[in-house]
């Protein structure tokens, strides 16, 4: 019976220890969770105060002129936050101040002058001794001014002030309960009863009881310390995981080949990755910088309107093509593929706009080149049979004209005129056949400067007759200006371009000049530019000058420029016509020969 009572006493003691450790563990976890929630609440409160200060700064910068007390009071009222704001000039003197209605006492915290050593971008969230809790935000404004914002702070929870007292009382009750439980177990255990019956051990009972309590509390304290270390390690691992995730996200955004830009609801660019900064020079490089999107995207036609619609109405725009004016003086433009999406919860006002942009200039150029090739191929198929029939008819007319001249000497003059028109028509048909038939290219490295020189020699007499001054300039860098081309076809294209410039200057008054420029456009392209100072091209005709048989002159058939475009496209290049001041300019982009 005695052994049975001893076993029951040990079982009860083990269960009691297990219950005590469980209760203490739950209490420690409660303290840890409560501390985490309080820390997150404080972080959210600080972030809200910073956002209020930044938004008020944007509104002050958007206001015209220097804000007065009245203007600042209106802006503070619009923010809807419990704060007071003061504006200080570059010397630190206060120029205006205002506080939210019913909270005028916050104005007493706005000093007349800022301290000389106080940083303009610091954040001070500590309350001054003897004052009500408050937070301070200092924001630098454009023009050298400084904004000081003071927030009145409210408790994080209605029970926050008494939470510490509740926790302390709970800890005392838990410890007292565990001590009482162990004392009763110790007092009523069989061992304690046997010791109470032994006279020799009566004097040592208090000492053993004290040792038992001390050992119990030491074990409980050790368990608490162990759990505290586990919570600390877990919190540290969570912070490290969050830091790694943030750094990975930053590296991912920085290495994206697509440009990424974020615009807040006030219309200011707040973030941009390196790919976007390569396209637009005015984008901010750091998180603390912000610039108006209308200024940054001034060179991108229509992009500011898309961003404004997205911020105002929450619209999403996908795969829009935007023309970007180049920063160089060439007049060349680039094409961007742009997507604009709103950021924010569904059904609520848009918080920001996300812009993704990609340079698709080469894709658009390839698409246009393929479209031209398809058009030329269709024209070739149509013209093949037509030119054959025309040449047969012209040969018949020429034979009858020669027969008529041999039968009647009086018809010699008429026959010669008829023969001249037949030869002209035959030449036109030959030119059109050359344009329509497929080009068989014999490619080799060709010096484009040598081709231009030979064409100028062929046209030397005609240039002199019309009093035209022709100059050639070469700027191809260190490597020779060689292109991979069919030399005969390339000579025909250059001849047509210069002849077109000569015909444009035949009716011009004053000095007549043609400038031929050969320059490098990157390591893989050579640009041949033919510019004249004639009357230029009508704007509505710029897109039609390469159409076969389109001409604005009394002579010619409008085949030369169309044939030139076909030759350039067949070589994998492109040709662009535009107006200069004065005159017209034709630019041929040709692939550069390797090496």
Give whole-number Cα distances, 34 to 43, 44, 389, in Å.
14, 15, 95
| Model pLDDT for residues 72-94, shown as the tens digit of each residue | 888 888 888 888 888 888 888 88
At 142 the pLDDT is 76
pTM here is: 0.41
C-alpha 19 chain-centroid distance: 59
The per-residue b/e assignment along 328-341, b for 16 or more CB within 10 angstroms, e otherwise, is eeeeeebbbbbbbb
Q: Provide the edge-to-edge strand list for the sheet that holds 584-591.
A: 468-475, 512-520, 525-532, 584-591, 574-579
At 4 the pLDDT is 45
Report whether the peptide linkage leading into residue 204 is cis, meaning its omega lies within 30 degrees of zero.
Answer: no
CB 215: neighbour CB atoms within 10 A? 11
At 390 the pLDDT is 72
Contact by Cβ (8 Å): 453, 495:
no
List of residues 6+ apart from 266 with CB closer than 8 A: 55, 58, 59, 62
For the chain, report the end-to-end CA distance as a whole number of angstroms.
Answer: 107
Alpha carbons 274 and 535: distance in angstroms, whole number: 44
Q: What is the DSSP letter of 107?
A: G
| Model pLDDT for residues 352-364, shown as the tens digit of each residue | 899 998 888 778 8
Give whole-number Cα distances, 308 to 42, 225, 311, 339, 446, in Å.
34, 57, 5, 13, 51
Question: Quick one: tokens of 99?
Answer: 């506080």
Contact by Cβ (8 Å): 514, 530:
yes
pLDDT tens digits, the chain, 595 residues: what are they? Answer: 444 444 455 555 555 666 666 666 666 666 665 666 677 777 777 788 888 888 888 888 877 677 888 888 888 888 888 888 888 888 888 888 888 887 788 888 888 887 644 443 333 444 444 445 677 888 888 777 888 888 877 665 544 444 555 556 666 666 777 667 666 655 655 555 555 555 554 455 556 656 666 676 777 788 878 888 888 888 888 888 888 887 777 777 777 788 888 888 888 888 888 888 888 877 877 666 778 888 888 888 788 889 888 988 888 898 888 888 765 444 467 788 899 999 888 778 888 899 998 888 778 877 877 777 676 666 666 666 666 667 777 777 777 777 776 676 666 677 777 777 777 777 767 766 666 666 677 888 999 999 999 999 999 888 888 889 999 998 876 677 889 898 988 998 999 999 999 988 887 888 899 999 998 887 788 999 999 998 888 888 888 888 877 777 766 667 788 888 888 988 888 899 998 878 899 999 998 887 6
Alpha carbons 544 and 561: distance in angstroms, whole number: 10
Give whole-number Cα distances, 21 to 27, 218, 223, in Å.
10, 12, 8
Question: Quick one: tokens of 457?
Answer: 């020699």
Contact by Cβ (8 Å): 494, 455:
yes
Closest CA to 448 of 548, 513, 521: 521
For 496, counting Cβ atoms within 10 Å of its Cβ (0-12 exposed, 13-18 middle, 19+ buried), the class is buried
C-alpha 456 chain-centroid distance: 48
Q: Provide the edge-to-edge strand list for the sheet that holds 146-152.
A: 94-99, 83-88, 146-152, 134-140, 123-124
């Amino acid at each position: 019976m005695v052994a049975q009572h001893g076993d029951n006493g040990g079982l009860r003691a083990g269960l009691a220890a297990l219950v005590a450790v469980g209760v203490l563990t739950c209490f420690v976890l409660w303290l840890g969770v409560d501390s985490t929630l309080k820390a997150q609440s404080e972080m959210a409160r600080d972030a809200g105060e910073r956002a209020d200060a930044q938004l008020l700064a944007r509104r002050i910068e958007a206001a015209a002129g220097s804000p007065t007390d009245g203007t600042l009071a209106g802006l503070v009222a619009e923010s809807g936050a419990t704060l007071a704001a003061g504006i200080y000039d570059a010397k630190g003197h206060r120029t205006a101040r205002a506080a939210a209605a019913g909270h005028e006492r916050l104005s007493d915290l706005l000093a007349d002058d800022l301290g000389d050593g106080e940083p303009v971008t610091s954040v001070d969230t500590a309350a001054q001794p003897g004052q009500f809790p408050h937070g301070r935000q200092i924001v630098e404004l454009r023009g050298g001014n400084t904004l000081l914002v003071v927030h009145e702070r409210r408790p994080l929870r209605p029970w926050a002030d008494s939470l510490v007292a509740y926790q302390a009382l709970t800890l005392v009750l838990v410890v007292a309960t565990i001590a009482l439980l162990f004392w009763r177990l110790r007092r009523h255990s069989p061992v304690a009863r046997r010791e109470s019956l032994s006279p020799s051990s009566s004097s040592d009972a208090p000492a053993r009881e004290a040792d038992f309590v001390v050992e119990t509390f030491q074990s409980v304290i050790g368990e608490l310390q162990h759990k505290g270390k586990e919570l600390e390690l877990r919190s540290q691992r969570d912070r490290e995981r969050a830091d790694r995730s943030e750094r990975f996200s930053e590296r991912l955004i920085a290495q994206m080949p697509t440009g990424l830009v974020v615009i807040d609801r006030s219309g200011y660019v707040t973030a941009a990755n390196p790919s976007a900064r390569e396209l637009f020079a005015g984008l901010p490089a750091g998180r603390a910088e912000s610039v108006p999107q209308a200024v940054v995207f001034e060179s991108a036609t229509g992009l500011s309107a898309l961003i404004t619609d997205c911020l105002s109405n929450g619209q999403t725009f996908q795969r829009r093509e935007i023309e970007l004016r180049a920063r160089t003086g060439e007049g060349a433009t680039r094409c961007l593929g742009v997507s604009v999406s709103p950021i924010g919860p569904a059904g609520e006002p848009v918080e920001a706009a996300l812009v993704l942009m990609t340079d698709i200039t080469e894709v658009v150029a390839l698409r246009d080149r393929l479209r031209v090739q398809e058009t030329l191929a269709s024209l070739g198929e149509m013209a093949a049979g037509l030119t054959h029939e025309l040449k047969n008819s012209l040969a018949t007319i020429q034979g009858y004209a020669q027969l008529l001249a041999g039968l009647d000497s009086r018809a010699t003059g008429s026959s010669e005129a008829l023969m001249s028109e037949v030869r002209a028509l035959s030449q036109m048909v030959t030119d059109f056949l050359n344009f329509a038939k497929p080009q068989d290219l014999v490619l080799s490295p060709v010096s484009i400067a040598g081709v231009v020189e030979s064409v100028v020699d062929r046209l030397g007499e005609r240039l002199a007759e019309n009093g035209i001054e022709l100059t050639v300039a070469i700027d191809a860098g260190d490597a020779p200006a060689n292109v991979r081309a069919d030399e005969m076809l390339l000579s025909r294209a250059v001849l047509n371009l210069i002849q077109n410039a000569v015909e444009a200057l035949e009716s011009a008054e004053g000095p007549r000049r043609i400038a031929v420029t050969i320059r490098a456009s990157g390591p893989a392209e050579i640009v041949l530019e033919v510019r004249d100072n004639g009357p230029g091209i009508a704007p509505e005709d710029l897109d039609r000058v390469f159409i076969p048989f389109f001409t604005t002159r009394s002579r010619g058939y409008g085949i030369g420029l169309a044939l030139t475009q076909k030759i350039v496209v067949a070589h994998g290049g492109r040709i662009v016509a535009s107006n200069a001041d004065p005159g017209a300019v034709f630019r041929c982009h040709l692939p550069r020969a390797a090496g």
